[in-house]
Chains A and B, each alone.
Chain A
Amino acid sequence: MSGEMTLNAGCTAPTYHDDLRLVQGELDKCMKCGNCMAVCPVYSVNKDEMAVTRSKIAVAEAVMKGDLSMDDPEVSDMIFNCLVCKSCMTNCPTKVSYDRIALGFRAALVRKNGLPWLKKMIFTGLKNPKFFDVAMKAGASMQGIAFKGDRKMKAISPRSPFAMVGGSFGFDAGRKMPELTVTPLRDRVSEVVRPAEVKVKAAFFTGDSLNYFYPDAGMDLIEVLTENGVEVHVPKAQNCCGIPVLVHGDIETARTLAQNNLDTFEATGCDYLITGCGSCGGAWQHDYVDLFANDPVYKAKAEHWSKRTYDVSTFLTKVIQFRQPKGQVDAVVTYHDSCHLKKTMKVAAEPREVIRSIPGVTLKEMAAPDTCCGSGGSYVVSHYDTSASLGKNKAQDINQTGADTVSTGCPACMMQLLDNVSRHGKEQKVTHYISLLAESYRKEKAAVH
């Protein structure tokens, strides 16, 4: 057994994040039937079996046996060429948890070789939320130097000198990205937002994407909750959910971030935790439980919040009966299933129920709404060609519906959709589904006044 598989010094309660040998049971479950091939977005682009989960498992088995070395760049490139969309897991007859295998491998790689310097710099920043906050705000005030704005789409594109450098990984002049905001979501609201009459208390985990890129959607989410008598707690001490560092194998940072979040939300005293992002919600429902599976203190905390975390659509439709909106919103909407919302949090019907409840809105389903848009967090940068190809397919499916608005429940998907409808689409409006409901409530109020 080679050294990289074994523990970090001082780790007393290892999980598969700490000891690669603990994924052997998952590897053994794989029958190599190939059902994962039918749904793998990466395979759909290049038809190379190396992309498919069963092949990654075969390579992982070869590493465990010592036939391949894990720090062989071929091996690490292969393990990282995955959107972690979890489509394979939903189609797997024997329920192989490939996410655990991938995370175990990525963590083992980082244990052996350390993080590449760029990742290390960014992740260290994430671990210090105050420093990260200052950096993001500074970036926001300076974005005009490198990017030019597009008021209509609320988007920015790289200016020409930067576009020339960035063109090879998708940062060409045609790229649309959401504006970085000078005033993030958590600076716009007080820590407790009270409705006129409080029926229930819930804490809102904003995540970084809603905080820095889509604060308007975050505000909409708070507005919808308060409209329904929910006292919304938005603790300022919360930080990144940890998924972005976890998927790159930085377990130490992921645990630090998770611990701070667990402690911060415990202090709110709320019964529910609400998310507006499938990746963040998935972290609270599953990853924290796995990260602290053997931790004497945080295991209980993680399990506590795992059962109390809801996507806002589930909270509205299953936990409270949300008030049916009356304001007219004239839009033909198509809904994109975010992978982590549908495949990790199992949320698919609820956002549609919310969208259908809005007067004037017609929901037109696209072909294969749960096919990955190609975002995959930083995958869009590291594997731009594959990501762009998937994004283009998604834009074409959206065009087919004739919808004027594409809605989803994940900020990362929103970024990818924004770029691809501007390149290949008909400049459809990209929106979080919660913003449609907020708009309807606002119009309802305006009509009354």
Chain B
Amino acid sequence: MLDKAIVQRLQDVVGQENVLTRKVELVAYSYDATADMPHQIPDVVVMPTTSEMVQEVVKIARTHQIAIYPRGAGSNLSGGTIPFKKGIVLSFQRMNQILEIDPANLTATVQPGVVIAALNSAIAGHGLIYPPDPGTVATATMGGSAAENSGGLRGLKYGVTKNYIMGMEVVLASGEKVKFGGKTVKNVTAYDFSNLFVGSEGTLGIITQLTCKLIPAPKFRRTMMGIFSSLEDAGNAVAGIIAAHVIPATLEIMDNKTIRTVEAFANIGLPVEAKALLLCEVDGMSQDLVNTEAEAVIEVFKQNNCEYKAANSDAERDQLWLARRNALPALASLDNTCIVEDATVPRSRITEMLVACEKIAEKYNVTIGTFGHAGDGNLHPTILYNMYDEELTARVHLAIDEIFATALALDGTLSGEHGIGLAKMKYLGDELGQSGLDLMRSIKEALDPDYLLNPGKMIPLPEAVA
């Protein structure tokens, strides 16, 4: 429990209604969307509405050496917002104003609590979109997704969050506020601070304002689905599409376990013996171009021994998307615990990774369904198990260790879009080596020497190492 005087000071800064201290309120901020993580109840939840308030809260925390856990919607999948060392959860859900939409410069300036979908609704009338689309767009905040550098289904063609953040205002652990970047497309002034803070998972500074890039909404799209009887054919089709110089907006893959589970869950007529399913969507500003790309994709599908379907209407498109939309819900319904990983490999090694996941499932006798973004190599091996079964849980943990080791062996990476947080911290040295870990610690300690900002995430606490 925090000293009453500290709570009073926090109330003076943000207003009494923006400080939560009741037990049930604290429980509501003790977790995020990550499975298999310990929950921790914070001492207090503070909901600022201006960056000045954030500065004052940081100064109070610094004086009393209290941990601060910045939080958007708490929808991340790496344990990134769990208040591991108690202290203050700094929720940005009430700091949610869209400050400016600038169609001339194709930018929007927002407070961190703006929900991604709300921004997209606000700019739709201008014919613009903000492309990063993590699965949780309807809840995830701009600040949270910038801190996590979220990806999504359109990463292959449109990139991820870091490609759209042009400027920021950040409150540092010192309580000072810095502003950098802005509305200019070109800006090489000073270090590229945006790329330092995007993806820093709240460990280096607290994002209090963002200027982001918008693009014209694509006017046309075509959607196709291919069903393959061998994983190899599916992998070759992915390579073939890129070799044909088509960059689809979406190129999703599902393995046999996922196909079977979706079919049992939703009865949409998928062939349960199929080894892989590819969902491909091309989009663009001209109907001709989009049609040409669609035909090229279909040609590649034909060359790789698959059955394919192409949608000719929105209703048919929805039908093709049904399988993908149901992938996670269907898998998650298999058991009471669902871990979604995001090990990522170079596109050319997708087939090897899918085969490895199947072998790992067999070796440890655990249930793994794999689906994901084939176009950018970002797979979601999804592990289902009964958390009340300790022996099974232990095998699941071993299987996950091996999934990450395999991704690294295939020249891949630990995380394509979920981040490191608490969940993957133990593997970090395997990818970065000691010199990489040391570099991270140097940056952390330069910006947050007292480990006040999201402590215990990404970089182990000094006492945990010693």
Contact = CB atoms under 8 A, between A and B. Distances in A.
Interface of A: 25, 28-29, 31-35, 37-39, 47-50, 52, 55, 58-59, 62, 68, 72, 74-75, 78, 93-95
A52 B31 CA distance: 13
B357 to A, nearest CB: 20
B33 A47 contact: no
Interface stretch (B215-223, B327-335, B424-432, B443-451): B327-335
A37 B73 contact: yes
A72 B139 contact: no
A68 B23 contact: yes
A31 B25 contact: no
A58 B30 contact: yes
Given A38-B117, A38-B138, A33 B75 contact: yes
A58 B32 contact: no
27 contacts: A29-B333, A31-B33, A33-B33, A34-B73, A34-B74, A34-B139, A35-B136, A35-B138, A37-B73, A37-B139, A47-B47, A47-B94, A48-B93, A49-B28, A49-B74, A49-B91, A50-B20, A55-B27, A55-B28, A58-B27, A58-B31, A68-B24, A72-B24, A74-B24, A75-B24, A94-B329, A94-B332
A31 B332 contact: yes
**Shortest 8 CB-CB distances between A and B: which pairs?**
A55-B28, A38-B138, A93-B329, A28-B336, A49-B28, A34-B75, A47-B93, A50-B28
Contacts of B387: 28
Nearest to B332: A94
Interface string B195-209: 000000000000000
Contacts of B74: 34, 49
Contacts of B117: 38
Contacts of A38: 115, 117, 138-139
Given A38-B117, A50-B24, A68-B23, A29 B93 contact: no
A120 to B, nearest CB: 26
A362 B47 CA distance: 45
B27 A68 contact: yes
A322 B91 CA distance: 53
Given A34-B136, A35-B138, A37-B73, A50 B25 contact: yes
A45 B117 CA distance: 17
A330 B312 CA distance: 39
Given A32-B32, A34-B139, A49 B24 contact: no
B25 A72 contact: no
Contact of B22 (A35, A52, A74): A74
B85 to A, nearest CB: 19
Contact of B27 (A34, A48, A59): A59
B96 interface: yes
Best-surrounded residue of A31, A38, A94 (most CB of chain B within 10 A):
A31
B347 interface: no
B272 interface: no
B338 interface: yes
Contacts of A59: 24, 27-28
A62 B27 contact: yes
B395 interface: no
A72 to B, nearest CB: 7
Contacts of A35: 136, 138-139
A142 to B, nearest CB: 40
Interface string B103-119: 00000000001010100
Contacts of B113: 47
Nearest to B34: A32
Given A93-B328, A93-B332, A94-B329, A52 B33 contact: no
A78 B136 contact: no
A336 B450 CA distance: 54
B136 A33 contact: yes
Best-surrounded residue of A32, A39, A72 (most CB of chain B within 10 A):
A32
Best-surrounded residue of A49, A68, A72 (most CB of chain B within 10 A):
A49
Contacts of A33: 33, 75, 136
Contacts of B158: none
A278 B326 CA distance: 28
B39 interface: yes
A72 B328 contact: no
B35 interface: yes
A279 B306 CA distance: 49
B333 A31 contact: no
B29 interface: yes
Contacts of A50: 20, 24-25, 28
A72 B29 CA distance: 19
Contacts of B31: 32, 58
A260 to B, nearest CB: 37
Contacts of B91: 49
A52 B28 contact: yes
B136 A48 contact: no
B424 to A, nearest CB: 18
Nearest to B338: A31
Contact of B93 (A31, A49, A74, A78): A49
Interface string B89-106: 001011010000000000
A153 B450 CA distance: 65
Contact of A34 (B22, B33, B35, B333): B33
Contacts of B24: 50, 59, 68, 72, 74-75, 78
Interface in B59-99: 73-75, 91, 93-94, 96
Given A32-B31, A47-B93, A48-B20, 4 more contacts: A35-B138, A37-B139, A52-B28, A72-B23
Contacts of B333: 29, 94-95
Contacts of B329: 93-95
A55 B25 CA distance: 9
B35 A31 contact: yes
A68 B22 CA distance: 12
A62 B27 CA distance: 8
Contact of A74 (B23, B30, B35, B73): B23
A28 B94 CA distance: 30
